[in-house]
A and B are shown apart, each in its own frame.
Chain A
Amino acid sequence: SQQGEEDPQALSIQEGENATMNCSYKTSINNLQWYRQNSGRGLVHLILIRSNEREKHSGRLRVTLDTSKKSSSLLITASRAADTASYFCATDRQGAQKLVFGQGTRLTINP
């Protein structure tokens, strides 16, 4: 079963603009992670945010977590063509000890 749901399913922006993707989930979590997947490749870990954290930064990435709303957002600033990929959130549910992935957001950066 899928725990996280990403929104939007697809996003197309111009190079240099910011991209925001959202993830909602249903049950209490230990942490939430974001992964990137280029076409035909495996997933690459981007960032992990723990349930007691509200915001985390890594380079051009900013992740927020609102446990009261059971939602997270991933912001990519100053987008580049190389950011074109699918982005997935994954939740580590309390008591489950496993990662459950959402359906993903397909991001296209137009040059």
Chain B
Amino acid sequence: EAGVAQSPRYKIIEKRQSVAFWCNPISGHATLYWYQQILGQGPKLLIQFQNNGVVDDSQLPKDRFSAERLKGVDSTLKIQPAKLEDSAVYLCASTILSGRTGELFFGEGSRLTVL
């Protein structure tokens, strides 16, 4: 089966510019996650969707980050305006489970560099 697809793989922008990342989870997976991974650290959860509803966005910097999951399938994560500290890899993951946590399937990530 096809894995989690993410694009773009790499993005370089100037600070204060905007950027958007796209994720297509595995077909039929109810729950979708966006994680931020800063170099040398573990992934940090930004937002969790169950179908098209938000389950957890407590660590999403809502003044600059936004995310949506249209029709409970694809998802987009946007940063506007970007700051230097947003340089990181943005990982999308999905799981077939709904309401409890099991194995997550990750995409290859989108690496953002903010200059």
The answer to whether B101 and A104 touch across the interface, beta carbons within 8 angstroms, is no
Contact B101 A92 (CB under 8 A): yes
Task: Give A residues with C-beta under 8 Å from B.
Answer: 2, 4, 30-31, 33, 35, 41-45, 48, 88, 92, 97-104
Q: In the bound complex, do residue A42 and residue B109 qualify as a contact, i.e. CB atoms below 8 Å apart?
A: yes
CA A43 to CA B6, docked complex, whole Å: 13
B residues with CB within 8 A of A = 4, 33, 35, 41-45, 48, 55-56, 91, 93, 99-109
Chain A residues near B41 (CB-CB < 8 A): 103-104
Which residues of chain A are within 8 angstroms of B55 by Cβ–Cβ distance?
Answer: 97-98
Q: Could you tell me the distance between the alpha carbons of A104 and B43 in the complex, rounded to whole angstroms? A: 9
With A41-B108, A42-B107, A48-B103 in contact, do A98 and B56 touch (Cβ < 8 Å)? Answer: yes
A56 to B103 CA separation, bound complex (whole angstroms): 15
Number of A-B contacts (CB under 8 A): 60
Q: How far is the CA of A88 from the CA of B43 in the complex (A)?
A: 9
In the complex, which of the residues A42, A103, A104 contacts B91, with contact meaning CB atoms closer than 8 Å? A42
Given A2-B42, A98-B48, A99-B45: A30 touches B91 (CB 8 Å cut-off): no
Q: How far is the CB of B58 from chain A (nearest CB, A)?
A: 9
Q: B98: nearest residue on chain A (CB-CB)? A: A97
Q: List 12 A-B contacts (CB under 8 A).
A: A4-B42, A30-B101, A31-B101, A35-B104, A41-B108, A41-B109, A42-B4, A43-B91, A43-B104, A48-B102, A88-B43, A99-B45
